[in-house]
Every structure is written in C-alpha cells, then in structure tokens.
Amino acid sequence: MTRRIFIIRHGNTFESDAQPRRIGAATDIPLVTSGQIQADRVGAWFAEQDFSVRHIFSGPLLRARETAERIGAALVKTIDGVLPWLNEIDHGPDEGLPEQEVWARVGAEAIAAWDEQAIAPPGWRVDAETRLAAWRAYLANGEEGTDILVTSNGAARFALLALNLPLASLKLRTGALGELVITADGEIQLQRWDYRP
C-alpha cells in the first residue's frame, strides 16, 4: 500500500507589478489572473500523472478553495471539503502591511527564523502545537491512494515539522507543491518540496 499526499500552496493573489504585502487568515482575497494560471498548470500536471486521486481538500480561504477547485476541474473531480487546520496563520499587527514595513518591524532574523524553523515573529498568532497535531493525525490515518491538500505557506510548513523533515527553507512558493509518500510499512518520504509544475 502506498499513500501519496500532495501539499499545494494556492496561486498568486497579487500581480507581479503590485507591492508585496503580508496577508494571512484575516484577508480573504481571490486569485489574480496569474494565480489562476498557476492553479490550472498544477491541475494539468496532475491530469498527466498516473495517480489515483482519492481526495482534494482545501483550507477555508477563497484563494485556497479556488486553487483546489481549478485543480479538481482538471481532474474532473469535485472538492471533498474544507479542513480548518489548513487555514493561513494570523499575522497580527503585520496583516496587510507592505513586506518592507514588516521586515522593519520584526527584523531580518525573525523572518529567517519563520522561514527556516517556523518560529513566529512577535504578535503573529500561529498555534503551532495544534497545527502539528493536526498534520500528525492526518498523516497517520489514511488509505492507499493520493490526497491533494491546498493550503497556504504558513500552514504547509508544519507538515515538514510534524515529520521532523526540516529543510533549509520551509517555504512553498505560490503555485508550488510538496509530495510525501507513505510506504506500506509506514515510512514517510519527502519526494519533493517547492516544485512548480
């Protein structure tokens, strides 16, 4: 029995010429055109693979749901539902601020600690233990086949930490995916991370 779990970050929510802002759970915005293209590209990639997709789940925010729906459309499969623990984190006082202002407030070291170890800067609400427990429970229970989970950058990193699989960077770019394979004896292998089809 082999189980595959794909963890996908939603597509772009800002066009390339827009000023980057730190958005989290408090900002529910749709994909922009380039984000829709990213989601469609991921969907087309899955349609070309030989995976038996059992479930497609998403986080509750519009950008995650829209990405999941576009992937599902490519697979002619409806979304199985929303998993609340796949929601983005809360950036607290930094919500909606331009990235340069966030860096100025928390400092480069705090951003690096978040990207490399998921240690949240002051004021961010992450609830790391609940997220880790949710990932561990999901990964421990399941059937043969492939599951697709569409989430955010803030939530995705906790899958790696739950499995003690830290990388140099825990980040997933928009429209990128990670792949976990769980073998018949329960061994979990990281096949890829931050892969953009």
- Bridging pattern class, strands 145-151 and 3-9: parallel
What does pTM read for this prediction? 0.94
Contact, 79 vs 66, CB < 8 A? no
| Tens of pLDDT, residue by residue, the chain (197 residues) | 789 999 999 999 998 888 888 999 999 999 999 999 999 999 999 999 988 899 999 999 999 999 999 999 999 999 999 999 999 999 999 999 999 999 999 999 999 999 888 899 999 999 999 999 999 999 988 788 999 999 999 999 999 999 887 677 888 999 999 999 998 888 899 999 999 99
As annotated, the binding site includes 63
- Residues of each annotated binding site for substrate: 63
Give me the domains of the chain, ranges plus CATH numbers.
3-195 (3.40.50.1240)
User: Residues with catalytic annotation?
Assistant: 10, 88
